[in-house]
């Protein structure tokens, strides 16, 4: 029986050996090998003593956050022993590069520089980019982005003086309890791991940066961390060959330059119990001979307990060299290691020729990466260079592509019918509003709550009572460590809270944690929607919120199985472009440097010139918000900084934001006729000089109407005091209209405004002349047509559905004053700083509700309405206005009369007039928008799918401040948008 087993084993080994030899024949040699016998390598070898050639096989750790003593120690190893290279650890890119330049200057043979940058420089260095962890990358469909990441990581490493990345990790993580690989692996599917690993490797090596596949022969199926002990993997040879070693074989065949060997005890490969790092059967027998790998073999850190336990420094290094390794990292005693290896040569355990061969291999790598022509790398702008816009955009693309939608019952995502939803969000593990919650609020009026890990039962009970008021709850589960480990540190009460709400209707959960924790949370899989973001970062939080509201879609697939709840490969595709995507300019074909620099400069210029105390600029292209920034203060005398969420008085931008969308909607239904006159909807005007004047002419400002009427002046006596029958200091049934806290207008004064408009004379000639008179009447016209209250009508039909929760009249009734930017110090009429009420005197005398002025909003909520216009009537999956109607209203109506206007919308002048023009030079003839007296501007250009919102309070301290006009700030910024289009 025993002899039969031996025969079977020998047969299996013979079959495997034959298979592996076949693989060896297709293995692609690493590119650097062509330099093994180059003139440069020969010249360096001639200068090195036998011991110095040994020293080239060592790489020691270098830190850029340690002091001069550490630097002296490194320099000693470089000068005295001529070590081969350095592996950089913690620090920052600028200091690291300065040190590397110094170290290279001290070295007779250029040093190879390496780093563990599995997810980029951010794995080790401050002020650098961290790309998603490999588990998140494993969720991405396709490999193009992974290749691009490899290219970018190579550029960043080279910019900081480095030549080798100890990555990618190609361990197949098929053990959810793995404490050391886990989220660092592409997942449990060997084919997915292989494809992603090859793409990552090819991206790096296309830039002549050496990639290193790790941790051979496969560290995925263990629950022991080799940093602290020696893991044992007890699988038969066939299983190891078919699964654990599969990615390594394929990467070798694809031409990877380096392989890192793990510290593992694998009896099926080496029955002696020796760590794989010290195993000649594994390294020389399998990796070199059977797999045919000719590239650089690197040890995992030689100070890790998995290899160091029971082995003395120097002695362990000798064993690693005898096993077949080329390059040893983290050796703890270089002189002793050199001595031990010299003794091994003397004892005949290894030859000097073998050492020389490995030394040549390392020198060949140095030549391949360009060290044969080494020059110091400039330090200036290194931090800026490694945080370049393309890398920032790539990072967002990777995170976005990884998002995985595991549940979406009844297609609850993306959220629709916002006007029917009362939404609460709960960030678990947070003590203050998270980026996730702040991004949710960009889309709708989401009420935010936080549930910290230490929350008491009474707090949870109180929170549950508050949540009863909402018909949709969004839960964000945040991580509690920098890296997404497979652990839960929540109280039982919080776990019960998650379980309870996961089973309720209309619950959406976004998991910013390791997906393995799903198996540790009861009932989480029962939520209506479950989004997995893999890790907790500002980018994943931001993008998850955008996914929930349809700013982006989802295509990720789970790279690992989660118990019986979800299997690897699970994930729903969600294609959507419903609402704004908040992103970077490059995502919309714009140059972020040009855009940001120009806008910042022009806004700072305006603030320094006191053209406005502050402002907000929002830019969107292709329905992607690519710039959204606040500047300055509320008032010159304030210390209150402008926030992006602050509300501004829109002034005449109200003209296209209030009654106009209502008129267009009514036009669609046939309830409003552009050829009708005011008298057709307001009989009061039948016997006036304005009867029968078509709305088309009025809206195009070609109806001979007077520009404006100073209604407020009729309320004053000659001495400047108020007429007794017009205002009172206190409100009453007869004086209900609030103009200020101590100024209440008579209820019938609105009729006087109508009368003044009715009796106002007409201009002599029917040509373009801007007039706001009609817009005082439009709310009444809308009410007569619809039979509904004007404000309720536009709220219900537009703002509520759009999620434009700050677009409002009389904002002080809804918002705190510190969120509302003040306008003018009024010394003529109200004798106070106008704050929380409309600046326009006529509008305030209409109770703050007018289509001429009166509307307030923040830039983001106003932009939703404008994007709907730019989309020709559609936004968020809702059709508000027919596209033919938008095209009619936004086209130039009477160009033959030298009138550039649309219907209420402003248009570019028929001929560009330089600085006197109302738009940027590059604004197309199809573009449209409006400006406002308080210093506002919105503009849309269908040719470039470009949206521009500019909010300011230039009427500070008074309306006499016209510097914003003189500087031409608004149109100069608008031109900067076109200049930034690539």
- Pairing, β 581-582 against β 624-632: parallel
Q: 616: burial class by Cβ within 10 Å (0-12, 13-18, 19+)?
A: buried
Which residue in this structure is represented by tokens 């020969």?
A: 42
Q: 10: burial class by Cβ within 10 Å (0-12, 13-18, 19+)?
A: exposed
Length of the chain: 982
Nearest residue to 262 via CA among 221, 292, 290: 221
Ranges in the chain, pLDDT < 50: 1-25
- CATH top-level class of 20-385: alpha beta
- 3-class secondary-structure state, position 686: coil
Nearest residue to 958 via CA among 981, 979, 928, 933: 933
Q: Which residues pair with 274 in a beta bridge?
A: none
The per-residue pLDDT for range 791-830, each reduced to its tens digit, is 999 999 999 999 999 999 999 999 999 999 999 998 888 8
Nearest residue to 48 via CA among 321, 371, 374, 358: 358
Cα–Cα distance for residue pair 137/199, rounded to 1 Å: 11
Q: What is the pLDDT of residue 49?
A: 97
Question: 3-state SS of 371-433?
Answer: HHHCCCCCCCCHHHHHCCHHHHHHHHHHHHHHCEEEEEHHHCCCCCCHHHCCEEEEEECCCCC
**Residue 723, number of CB atoms within 10 A of its CB:** 11
Please state the φ and ψ torsions of residue 285, each to the nearest 5 degrees: -75, -50
Q: What architecture (CATH level 2) is domain 403-577?
A: 3-Layer(aba) Sandwich (3.40)
Q: Which residues pair with 232 in a beta bridge?
A: 265
Cα–Cα distance for residue pair 486/48, rounded to 1 Å: 49
- 3-class secondary-structure state, position 182: helix
pTM across the whole model: 0.94
Q: 526: burial class by Cβ within 10 Å (0-12, 13-18, 19+)?
A: middle
* The token pair that represents 798 in the structure block: 């537009």
* The token pair that represents 951 in the structure block: 């909010």
Cα–Cα distance for residue pair 109/363, rounded to 1 Å: 9
* The token pair that represents 895 in the structure block: 């160009």
Q: 717: burial class by Cβ within 10 Å (0-12, 13-18, 19+)?
A: exposed
The per-residue pLDDT for range 36-75, each reduced to its tens digit, is 999 999 999 999 999 999 999 999 999 999 999 999 999 9
Instruction: Please name the helix (run of DSSP H) or strand (run of DSSP E) that holds residue 473, with its range, or none.
Output: strand 472-477
Q: Which residues pair with 939 in a beta bridge?
A: 929, 948
Maximum CA pair distance of the chain?
123
Q: What is the pLDDT of residue 717?
A: 81
Spans of all domains in the chain: 20-385, 403-577, 596-980
The per-residue pLDDT for range 21-38, each reduced to its tens digit, is 434 446 789 999 999 999
Asked if residues 607 and 631 have their Cβ atoms less than 8 Å apart, the reply is yes
Q: What is the pLDDT of residue 690?
A: 92
Asked if residues 333 and 314 have their Cβ atoms less than 8 Å apart, the reply is yes
Nearest residue to 212 via CA among 292, 118, 83, 100: 118
Please state the φ and ψ torsions of residue 699, each to the nearest 5 degrees: -70, -25
Estimate the crossing angle of helix 389-402 against helix 592-608, to 10 degrees: 110
Estimate the crossing angle of helix 39-47 against helix 352-368, to 10 degrees: 130
- Pairing, β 210-216 against β 258-261: parallel
HSE of 965, CA atoms in CB hemisphere, 13 A: 12
Asked if residues 427 and 476 have their Cβ atoms less than 8 Å apart, the reply is yes
Cα–Cα distance for residue pair 962/934, rounded to 1 Å: 10
Cα–Cα distance for residue pair 335/77, rounded to 1 Å: 9
Written as one string, the DSSP assignment of 905-920 is SB---SS--GGGSSS-
Q: What is the pLDDT of residue 81?
A: 95
The domain 596-980 having CATH identifier 3.40.50.2300: the answer here is no
Estimate the crossing angle of helix 190-205 against helix 144-159, to 10 degrees: 40
């Amino acid at each position: 029986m025993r002899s039969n087993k031996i025969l079977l084993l020998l047969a299996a080994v013979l079959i495997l050996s034959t298979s592996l030899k076949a693989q060896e024949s297709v293995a692609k040699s690493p590119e650097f090998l062509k330099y093994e016998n180059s003139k440069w390598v020969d010249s360096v070898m001639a200068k090195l003593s036998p011991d110095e050639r040994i020293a080239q096989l060592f790489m020691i750790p270098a830190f850029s956050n340690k002091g001069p003593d550490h630097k002296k120690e490194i320099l000693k190893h470089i000068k005295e022993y001529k070590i081969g290279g350095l592996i950089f650890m913690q620090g920052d890119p600028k200091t690291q590069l300065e040190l590397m330049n110094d170290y290279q200057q001290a070295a007779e043979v250029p040093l190879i520089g390496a780093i563990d940058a599995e997810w980029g420089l951010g794995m080790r260095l401050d002020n650098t980019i961290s790309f998603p962890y490999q588990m998140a990358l494993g969720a991405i469909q396709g490999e193009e982005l992974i290749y691009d990441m490899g290219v970018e990581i190579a550029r960043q490493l080279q910019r900081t003086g480095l030549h080798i990345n100890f990555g990618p990790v190609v361990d197949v993580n098929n053990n959810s309890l793995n404490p050391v690989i886990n989220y660092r692996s592409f997942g449990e599917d060997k084919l997915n791991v292989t494809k992603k690993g090859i793409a990552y490797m090819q991206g790096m090596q296309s830039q002549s940066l050496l990639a290193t596949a790790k941790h051979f022969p496969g560290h995925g199926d263990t629950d022991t961390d080799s940093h602290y002990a020696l893991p044992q993997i007890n699988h038969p040879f066939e299983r190891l060959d078919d699964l654990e070693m599969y990615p390594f074989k394929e990467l070798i065949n694809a031409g990877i330059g380096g392989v890192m060997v793990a510290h593992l005890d694998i009896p099926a490969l080496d029955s002696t119990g020796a760590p794989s790092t010290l195993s000649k059967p594994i390294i020389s027998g399998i990796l070199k001979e059977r797999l045919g790998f000719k590239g650089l073999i690197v040890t995992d850190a030689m100070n890790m307990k998995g290899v160091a336990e029971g082995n003395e420094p120097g002695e362990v290094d000798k064993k690693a060299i005898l096993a077949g390794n080329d390059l040893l990292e983290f050796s703890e005693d270089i002189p002793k290691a050199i001595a031990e290896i010299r003794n091994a040569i003397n004892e005949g355990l290894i030859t000097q020729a073998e050492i020389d061969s490995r030394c040549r291999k390392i020198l060949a790598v140095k030549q391949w990466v360009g060290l044969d022509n080494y020059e110091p790398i400039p330090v200036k702008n290194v931090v800026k260079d490694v945080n370049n816009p393309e890398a920032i955009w790539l990072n967002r693309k990777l995170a976005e592509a990884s998002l995985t939608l595991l549940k979406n019952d009844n297609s609850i995502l993306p959220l629709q019918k916002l006007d029917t939803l009362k939404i609460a969000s709960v960030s678990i593990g947070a003590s203050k509003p998270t980026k996730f919650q702040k991004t949710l609020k960009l889309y709708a009026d989401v009420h935010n709550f936080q549930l910290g890990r230490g929350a008491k039962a009474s707090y949870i009970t109180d929170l549950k009572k508050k949540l009863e008021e909402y018909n949709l709850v969004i839960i964000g589960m945040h991580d509690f460590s920098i890296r997404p480990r497979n652990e839960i540190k929540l109280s039982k009460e919080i776990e019960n809270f998650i379980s309870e709400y996961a089973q309720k209707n209309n619950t959406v959960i976004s998991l910013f944690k390791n997906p393995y924790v799903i198996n540790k949370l009861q009932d989480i899989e029962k939520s209506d929607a479950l989004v997995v973001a893999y890790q907790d970062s500002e980018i994943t939080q931001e993008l998850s919120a955008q996914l929930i509201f349809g700013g982006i879609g989802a295509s990720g697939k789970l790279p690992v199985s989660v118990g019986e709840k979800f299997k690897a490969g699970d994930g729903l595709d969600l294609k959507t472009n419903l609402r704004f995507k908040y992103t970077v300019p490059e995502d919309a074909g714009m140059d972020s440097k040009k855009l940001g620099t120009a806008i910042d400069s022009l806004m700072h210029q305006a603030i320094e010139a006191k053209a406005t105390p502050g402002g907000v600029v929002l830019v969107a292209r292709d329905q992607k918000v690519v710039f959204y920034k606040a500047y300055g203060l509320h008032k010159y005398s304030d210390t209150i900084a402008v926030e992006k969420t602050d509300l501004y008085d829109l002034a005449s931008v109200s003209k296209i934001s209030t009654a106009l969308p209502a008129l267009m909607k009514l036009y669609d239904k046939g309830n409003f006729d552009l050829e009708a006159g005011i008298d057709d909807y307001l009989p009061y005007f039948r016997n006036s000089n304005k009867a029968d004047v078509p709305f088309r002419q009025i809206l195009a400002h070609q109806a001979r109407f007077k520009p404006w009427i100073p209604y407020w002046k009729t309320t004053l006596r000659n001495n400047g005091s108020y007429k007794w029958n017009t205002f009172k200091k206190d409100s009453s049934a007869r004086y209900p209209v609030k103009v200020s806290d101590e100024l209440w207008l008579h209820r019938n004064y609105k009729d006087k405004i109508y009368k003044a408009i009715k009796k106002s004379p007409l201009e002599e000639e029917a040509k373009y002349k801007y007039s706001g008179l009609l817009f005082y009447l439009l709310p009444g016209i809308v009410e007569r047509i619809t039979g509904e209250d004007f404000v309720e009508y536009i709220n219900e039909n537009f703002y509520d559905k759009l999620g434009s929760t700050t677009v409002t009249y009389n904002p002080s009734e809804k918002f705190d004053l510190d969120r509302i930017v003040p306008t003018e110090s009024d010394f003529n009429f109200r004798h106070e700083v106008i704050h929380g009420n409309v600046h326009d005197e006529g509008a305030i005398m209409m109770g703050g509700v007018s289509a001429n002025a009166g509307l307030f909003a923040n830039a983001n909520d106003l932009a939703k309405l404008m994007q709907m216009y730019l989309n020709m009537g559609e936004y968020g999956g809702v059709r508000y206005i027919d596209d033919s109607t938008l095209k009619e209203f936004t086209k130039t109506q009477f160009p033959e009369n030298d009138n550039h206007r649309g219907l209420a919308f402003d248009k570019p002048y028929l001929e560009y007039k330089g600085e006197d023009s109302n738009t940027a030079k590059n604004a197309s003839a199809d573009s449209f928008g409006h400006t406002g007296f308080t210093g506002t501007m919105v503009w849309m250009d269908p040719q470039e799918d470009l949206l521009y919102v500019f909010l300011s309070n230039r009427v500070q301290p008074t309306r006499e401040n016209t510097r914003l006009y003189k500087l031409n700030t608004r149109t100069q910024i608008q031109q900067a948008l076109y200049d930034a289009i690539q």
